[in-house]
Amino acid sequence: MFKKKRNLLALGVLLLVTVATITASLWLVQSPTYIDSHQRLLGPSAKHWFGTDHFGRDIFSRVIV
């Protein structure tokens, strides 16, 4: 199985995604369902990595969960 570097890389990426999915609730800053009408339609920033939607919800949190 590990004879090809491509297989090892694919396994590493799969492991990374699996661990990130399982531990997402531990490191997410904002709830994916929290609505903040003052933070609507913001672009990507340090606080909201993917920006916010039309309700002010953090898109990064919604993608991860």
Domain ranges within the chain, ordered by starting residue: 5-64
> C-alpha angle 41/34/21, rounded to 5°?
95
The mean per-residue pLDDT over the stretch 19-26 comes to 84
The mean per-residue pLDDT over the stretch 35-64 comes to 94
Residue 2: what pLDDT? 59
Q: Supply the mean pLDDT for the chain.
A: 90
- In the predicted structure, residue 25 carries a pLDDT above the cut 80: no
Burial track 4-37 (b if 16+ CB lie within 10 A, e otherwise): eeeeeeeeeeeeeeeeeeeeeeeeeebebeeeee
Give CA–CA dist 31/7, Å, rounded: 35
Residue 39: what pLDDT? 95
3-state helix, strand, coil in the chain (%, to 5): 50, 5, 50
